[in-house]
Amino acid sequence: MAQVTLHGFPPSSYTWTARAICAAKGIDVDFQAIMPPAHKAPEHLARHPFGKVPAFSHGDFTLYETLAIARYVDEVFDGPALQPADPKARARMEQWISVIDSYLYNQAVPGYIFAYIFPRTPDGAPDTARIEKTLPDLRHTLAVLNDALADSAWLASDAPTLADYFFAPLLLGVSRFPEGKALLEELPNLGRYAGQIIKNDAIMSTAPQG
């Protein structure tokens, strides 16, 4: 029997983060794929009253919000520690997760990726106005993260921490589209980092298909 259950949209970056963290800990997950509009149905609102994904359970214990899930999984299960013991490195990890949640997610997902995958016009053309509006902010955030990776392999330590599992889905998502790909070429530490991410089994084995 699976150790934990996760409900989420397979393509969602937060769902991918939670799945990858469970995979990094070696946990057997019962992944229940749902797709919009099921996240607004009463059954899912009972798991997540804000109608978002992912939602998690471990026996009778239920939880939502990806950072809470991530910390719980890291602390309760065996496997490699994904949070540094050193207070400064741990604070740095928290800083990057907050940057990703507060700034990068909205720039990368609704601001950029959705402009390609949910076009506003019937001909299916990308929403160029949205892309142009978002790009300066997205470039700024990615440049800050690029600088953070100048002297270290991963964001907060010499091994992946929770921060890297939050960042990887967004970076790989952005790099699927032309401006994002160009940004990775412009920002060489991010290019190198993306090369490491695609060798990480926990991240790649939980990647959305297609």
Q: Is there binding between residue 107 and ligand GSH (CB under 6 A)? A: no
Tokens of 3: 């150790």
Q: Is there binding between residue 97 and ligand GSH (CB under 6 A)? A: no
Exposure string (b/e) for 84-104, b if CB count within 10 Å is 16 or more? beeeebbebbbebbebbeeeb
- For ligand GSH, the closer of residues 13 and 146 by Cβ is 13
What is the residue type of 14?
Y
Q: Taking the complex as a whole, how short is the minimal distance between the CB of residue 189 and ligand GSH, in angstroms?
A: 25
Binding mask 15-44 for ligand GSH (x = CB under 6 A): ------------------------x-----
C-alpha 56, offset from chain centre? 16
Q: Is there binding between residue 206 and ligand GSH (CB under 6 A)? A: no
Q: Taking the complex as a whole, how short is the minimal distance between the CB of residue 190 and ligand GSH, in angstroms?
A: 21
Q: Please compute, for residue 132, the number of CA atoms within 13 A of its CA located in the half-sphere on the CB side.
A: 3
- Residue 10: asked if its preceding bond is cis (omega within 30°), the reply is no
Nearest of 53, 25, 37, 209 to residue 4 by alpha carbon: 25
Beta carbons of 125 and 168 less than 8 angstroms apart: no
Q: Taking the complex as a whole, how short is the minimal distance between the CB of residue 123 and ligand GSH, in angstroms?
A: 26
Residue found under tokens 């016009």: 121
Question: Among the candidate windows 12-20, 24-32, 142-150, 171-179, which touches ligand GSH by CB under 6 A?
Answer: 12-20
Binding mask 39-78 for ligand GSH (x = CB under 6 A): x-----------xxx-----------xxx-----------
Binding region for ligand GSH (CB under 6 A): 12-14, 39, 51-53, 65-67
